[in-house]
Amino acid sequence: MKYRYIWFDLGMTLVETPIETLYRQVLKAFDIHRDAAEIRRAVYLTDKEFMRRYPHILGTQPAHFMPWYLGILNYNLGVRLDLEENYRIFADAQSRMGLKWRPVPGAHELLRRLKGQGVGLGLISNWDHTCRRVLADNGLDALLDVTVVSSEVGIEKPNPEIFRMALETAGVRAEEAMYVGDNYYDDVVGAGGVGIKCLLIAPYGRLGLEEISHRATIRSIEEVRDYLE
């Protein structure tokens, strides 16, 4: 295999939250009905809008951005709601249903396969103090050889220094490594800053990514294996 080490992002790469299920219930409170696939697509577009225009805000406390986020999400769904009431119902639904992180389909299988082939596995993530708990709760911690978390090292992607630090910790060169993530502005730009090739997860193809020209894209983490082969 060409790469000795494969690095991964965490949120929406190795783990995800079932926000479409929760938001479907929120909309029902307003007598609005949308299927899960439609909500998932709207969430994706909203995330990409925030990644592009408001870097890092999605990693802050939800109260700082959620009403604003819901407004854009509703726009992408073609609905108009009172945002104050919308946020209140959303927060109530979240407290009742929870939004626990869960493994992305195929994540465990991919990591085990790569590990079995002798490939080093690592994480480079912009995350708060809960990162290692999320990894442990989802059975991912034991599959990773090196874990680099922004809140622990005081550096965030896309600063190339966090990628350089990860390479030094693992003892590999940039050309021997590849990064897999879902955020062009943090992952592709940051990894590229030290010469690491980045595989961008883009489940809807060019949708939401019209302004970029990155060619190394996959639809899901399950395609990483095919890309490497």
Which helix H or strand E contains 200, and what residues bound it? strand 197-201
Please tell me whether residues 202 and 121 are part of one structural domain: yes
DSSP designation for 149: E
Band (pLDDT 50/70/90 cuts) for residue 62 is confident
Band (pLDDT 50/70/90 cuts) for residue 116 is very high
Please state the rounded mean pLDDT for residues 36-42.
97
| Neighbouring C-beta atoms of residue 111, cutoff 10 Å | 23
Please tell me whether residues 80 and 186 are part of one structural domain: no
Please tell me whether residues 119 and 223 are part of one structural domain: yes
Is-cis flag, bond preceding 203, omega within 30? no
Q: Which of 97, 131, 152 is the last residue of a domain?
A: 97
Say yes or no to pLDDT of 61 above 80: no
Please state the rounded mean pLDDT for residues 34-57.
93
Please tell me whether residues 164 and 70 are part of one structural domain: no
Q: What is the pLDDT of residue 70?
A: 96
What pTM was computed for the model?
0.93
Please tell me whether residues 129 and 219 are part of one structural domain: yes
Band (pLDDT 50/70/90 cuts) for residue 58 is confident
Please state the rounded mean pLDDT for residues 38-55.
94
C-alpha 38/C-alpha 176 separation (Å) is 39
Total domain count, the chain: 2
Q: What is the pLDDT of residues 119-143, one digit of tens each?
A: 999 999 999 999 999 999 999 999 9
Please tell me whether residues 82 and 111 are part of one structural domain: no
Which helix H or strand E contains 123, and what residues bound it? strand 120-125
Please tell me whether residues 118 and 210 are part of one structural domain: yes
Query: How many C-alpha atoms does 156 have within 13 Å on its Cβ side?
Result: 12
Q: Which of 97, 127, 161 is the last residue of a domain?
A: 97
Say yes or no to pLDDT of 229 above 90: no
Q: What is the pLDDT of residue 60?
A: 73
Please tell me whether residues 11 and 23 are part of one structural domain: no
Please tell me whether residues 132 and 180 are part of one structural domain: yes
> What range defines the domain where residue 137 resides?
5-15+102-228
C-alpha 44/C-alpha 58 separation (Å) is 13
Please tell me whether residues 213 and 117 are part of one structural domain: yes
Please tell me whether residues 120 and 214 are part of one structural domain: yes
Q: What is the pLDDT of residue 5?
A: 98
What is the overall mean pLDDT for the chain? 95
C-alpha 46/C-alpha 40 separation (Å) is 10
Please tell me whether residues 128 and 198 are part of one structural domain: yes
C-alpha 51/C-alpha 9 separation (Å) is 14
* Residue that is written with structure tokens 């809807």 in the block: 204
Nearest to 13 by CA among 229, 226, 223: 223
* Residue that is written with structure tokens 């929120």 in the block: 26
Q: What is the pLDDT of residue 83?
A: 94
Q: What is the pLDDT of residue 220?
A: 96
Which of the residue ranges 74-78, 88-92, 133-137, 209-213 would you say has the lowest mean pLDDT?
209-213
What length does the chain have? 229
Q: What is the pLDDT of residue 172?
A: 98
Using an 8 Å Cβ cutoff, are 203 and 20 in contact? no
Using an 8 Å Cβ cutoff, are 126 and 157 in contact? yes
